[in-house]
């Protein structure tokens, strides 16, 4: 039970730790050899071994032994972010067996496939458990996310040995990676007006966290819990002396389509006046003020109501 306790404490200590700090935590652990090295540290082994009984230290043979038969894989692994860490810490870091489990039986049988953890054979949950054994602190919400829940495991997007997406061991770079499964989204970024995702200016993960968030559709949020949009479009954020209630109540999506639109400014409606008139009766509005009603059909409302997201000077957003 000591094993369970240490796993829980470890997960807690990782939760909320940022990446750079995480690195330091790793260094500390690797330095003391608690997690990876010394024989008999069963508690630590339980952390990444399958959630069954922890394996005995003598069941591990070390990465150098794997390399004797899996030369190609081992060669590629030297450049892996998992391996770099091992190199830095006297090869006691993440090794083959941290992920594939103890390899002695596999080795002694001359390479019996059934005697080693194979990701290609494992269920999505089993894969996630392996990876989250170490990455829980970064991606604690994963199993609750649409991806975790939909059995898209870590290796649906990441490949440890054949990452082709450059950064982060991704199977392919964004947005190609995402379109492989979300083909229906692609046409939205091909519309006349769109966020320049295909052009590489904005990426899916600027707005979504594929590992899950507490918001619908995995949307990221800004520090002040506003929609992610205001992180880049600061000028719309406010607070303003005169808020446009629509922006606060409906959010940006009340008037804009986030991916793409046939309408300029990513608007939901083909005309600005049409958009405004969903909520406002222009006749009623301007009967009071005496603004020529004839102009409303031809002149967009925003040619006068310029500060449509809110204003600090004018209650009708004219200035
Ligand atoms: C004595 C040589 C030998 C050693 C040492 C060895 N393997 Fe293997 N391994 C093999 C052979 C041969 C196969 C292919 C078996 C097959 O295709 O049926 C294999 C298959 C595998 C597979 C499954 C590949 C697949 O197609 O799914 C994994 C994973 C694996 N080995 C990991 C390891 C790890 C990790 C180590 C070190 C702990 C290791 N092997 C050490 C010979 C070896
Ligand atoms: C961080 C976890 C991790 C580590 C460390 C790791 N592997 Fe793998 N291994 C995987 C995953 C995941 C797969 C499934 C294919 C993929 O994602 O690239 C895999 C697949 C394999 C395969 C099957 C062949 C293939 O490409 O599908 C072999 C053989 C293998 N690994 C051997 C090794 C050896 C040898 C080492 C050490 C040099 C090692 N692995 C280190 C996670 C790991
Ligand atoms: C739906 C695709 C997808 C799945 C599934 C996925 N990832 Fe990721 N992962 C990404 C993308 C895309 C990035 C790059 C994020 C960015 O650029 O902000 C990333 C980045 C990472 C990073 C490095 C940066 C960071 O955010 O911490 C780690 C570590 C990681 N993923 C681990 C995992 C683990 C562990 C799992 C399974 C529990 C997993 N990922 C499942 C797509 C995915
Ligand atoms: C034994 C612990 C351990 C296991 C198991 C493990 N990782 Fe890692 N992973 C690490 C460490 C340590 C790093 C390097 C951390 C760093 O660079 O900040 C890393 C780095 C990564 C990165 C690169 C992060 C970046 O910023 O580029 C990705 C992606 C990743 N892991 C995904 C996975 C996936 C997917 C699995 C399961 C197949 C997995 N890891 C299993 C410990 C582990
Ligand atoms: C291996 C297939 C696969 C890949 C790759 C993938 N997804 Fe998904 N995605 C799914 C599945 C399956 C679901 C859950 C079912 C659904 O809602 O369509 C999902 C759900 C989502 C959702 C939630 C949809 C909703 O209605 O709540 C978002 C957002 C999402 N994915 C974004 C991304 C992004 C961004 C990427 C690229 C970084 C990506 N996905 C890569 C398969 C994938
Ligand atoms: C500018 C921010 C932004 C970018 C970039 C972005 N999304 Fe979205 N996405 C959103 C918002 C906001 C929603 C919620 C829409 C709603 O609720 O009507 C959403 C909804 C979704 C959904 C679920 C609803 C649906 O239409 O099926 C999926 C899946 C999705 N996005 C995938 C992606 C993929 C894949 C990419 C990259 C190719 C991407 N998104 C890029 C903001 C963005
Ligand atoms: C990662 C930064 C980023 C995020 C997050 C983001 N945008 Fe954008 N947005 C941009 C960039 C960059 C452009 C300009 C693209 C171009 O030059 O075509 C843009 C363009 C726009 C435009 C069109 C502006 C014009 O002049 O035509 C609208 C409207 C818009 N975004 C709304 C939103 C909404 C709504 C959200 C939230 C769902 C959002 N943006 C999230 C970066 C972002
Ligand atoms: C009540 C409807 C409405 C809401 C809600 C709304 N917008 Fe707009 N937005 C517009 C209109 C209309 C335009 C076009 C103004 C023009 O063409 O003069 C616009 C234009 C923009 C532009 C282009 C640059 C500019 O200022 O003209 C960006 C960027 C933008 N909106 C982002 C956002 C963001 C981010 C949110 C959420 C915080 C948001 N909008 C909420 C109606 C709205
Ligand atoms: C989703 C509904 C919605 C849309 C779309 C919308 N508004 Fe509004 N707007 C409101 C609400 C609600 C108020 C607050 C009304 C109140 O306080 O009586 C408001 C307030 C205003 C005010 C200030 C009125 C006052 O009484 O001080 C102006 C001006 C205004 N809107 C113009 C526009 C224009 C121009 C557009 C189109 C670009 C637009 N609105 C689109 C809902 C909307
Ligand atoms: C030619 C300039 C102009 C155009 C075009 C225009 N407005 Fe106005 N609007 C004004 C002025 C000026 C006021 C009065 C501001 C004040 O009272 O301080 C006003 C006031 C309003 C008010 C607040 C009324 C109130 O009772 O305080 C609303 C709502 C409004 N306009 C909506 C619209 C909508 C919707 C459109 C497009 C269909 C539109 N306006 C087009 C100039 C214009």
**pLDDT (0 to 100) of residue 34:** 30
226 close to ligand 8 (CB < 6 Angstrom): no
Ligand that lies nearest to the alpha carbon of residue 300, given by its number in the listed order: 10
Sign for the pseudo-dihedral over CA of 246, 247, 248, 253: positive
Q: Which residue lies with its CA nearest to atom 18 of ligand 3? A: 205
Dist. CA 263–CA 256, nearest whole Å: 9
> For residue 175, which of 197, 206, 152 has the smallest C-alpha distance?
197
Q: Which residue lies with its CA nearest to atom 30 of ligand 6? A: 185
Q: Which residue lies with its CA nearest to atom 16 of ligand 10? A: 316
Which residues does the chain have with pLDDT short of 70? 1-54, 84-93, 163-165, 223-226, 282-285, 287-297
Sign for the pseudo-dihedral over CA of 254, 255, 260, 262: positive
Residue 175 in contact with residue 198, Cβ under 8 Å?
A: yes
Dist. CA 128–CA 155, nearest whole Å: 8
List, for residues 157-172, the tens digit of each pLDDT value: 999 998 665 789 999 9
Residue 93 in contact with residue 63, Cβ under 8 Å?
A: no
Angle (CA) 43 100 26, round 5° = 50
Ligand 8 pocket test, candidate residues 232, 236, 257, 310, most atoms within 8 A of CB: 236
Mention every residue, 6+ apart, whose C-beta is less than 8 A from residue 205: 174
Q: Which residue lies with its CA nearest to atom 14 of ligand 9? A: 245
Q: Which residue lies with its CA nearest to atom 40 of ligand 4? A: 131
247 close to ligand 8 (CB < 6 Angstrom): yes
77 close to ligand 1 (CB < 6 Angstrom): no
Dist. CA 200–CA 162, nearest whole Å: 23
Ligand that lies nearest to the alpha carbon of residue 60, given by its number in the listed order: 1
Q: Which residue has the tokens 């499964």?
A: 181
Dist. CA 70–CA 167, nearest whole Å: 24
Pocket of ligand 9 (CB under 6 A): 244-246, 250, 254-255, 272, 275-276, 278-280, 301-302, 305, 308, 315-317
As given in the structure block, the two tokens for residue 84 are 């770099």
Sign for the pseudo-dihedral over CA of 307, 310, 315, 319: negative
Sign for the pseudo-dihedral over CA of 58, 60, 63, 69: positive
How far apart, in Å, do the first and last CA atoms of the chain sit?
A: 67
HSE toward the beta carbon, residue 72, CA cutoff 13 A: 2
> For residue 198, which of 125, 260, 288 has the smallest C-alpha distance?
260
As given in the structure block, the two tokens for residue 290 are 């005496």
> For residue 228, which of 211, 209, 254, 250 has the smallest C-alpha distance?
209
194 close to ligand 3 (CB < 6 Angstrom): no
């Amino acid at each position: 039970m000591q094993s369970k306790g240490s796993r829980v404490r470890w997960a807690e200590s990782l939760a909320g730790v940022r990446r750079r700090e995480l690195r330091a935590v790793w260094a500390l652990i690797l330095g003391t050899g608690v997690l990876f090295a010394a024989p008999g540290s069963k508690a630590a082994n339980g952390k990444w071994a399958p959630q069954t009984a922890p394996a005995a230290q003598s069941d591990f043979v070390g990465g150098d032994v794997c390399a004797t038969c899996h030369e190609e894989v081992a060669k590629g692994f030297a450049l892996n972010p998992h391996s770099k860490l091992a190199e830095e810490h006297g090869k006691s870091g993440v090794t083959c067996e941290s992920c594939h489990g103890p390899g002695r039986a596999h080795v002694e049988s001359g390479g019996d496939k059934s005697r080693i953890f194979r990701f290609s054979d494992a269920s999505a949950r089993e894969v996630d458990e392996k990876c989250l054994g170490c990455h829980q602190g970064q991606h604690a919400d994963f199993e609750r996310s649409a991806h975790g829940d939909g059995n898209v495991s870590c290796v649906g997007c990441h490949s440890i040995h054949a990452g082709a997406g450059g950064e982060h061991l991704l199977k392919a770079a964004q947005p190609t990676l995402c379109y492989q499964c979300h083909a229906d989204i692609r046409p939205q970024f091909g519309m006349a007006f769109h966020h320049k995702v295909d052009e590489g200016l904005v990426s899916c993960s600027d707005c979504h966290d594929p590992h899950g968030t507490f918001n619908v559709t995995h949307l990221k949020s800004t520090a002040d819990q506003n929609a992610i949009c205001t992180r880049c479009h600061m000028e719309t954020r406010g607070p303003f002396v005169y808020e446009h209630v629509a922006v606060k109540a409906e959010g940006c999506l009340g008037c804009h389509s986030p991916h793409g639109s046939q309408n300029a400014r990513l608007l939901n409606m083909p005309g600005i006046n049409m958009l405004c008139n969903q909520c406002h009766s222009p006749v009623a509005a301007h009967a009071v003020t005496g603004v020529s009603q004839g102009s409303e059909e031809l002149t967009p409302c925003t040619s006068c109501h310029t500060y449509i997201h809110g204003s600090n000077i004018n209650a009708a957003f004219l200035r």
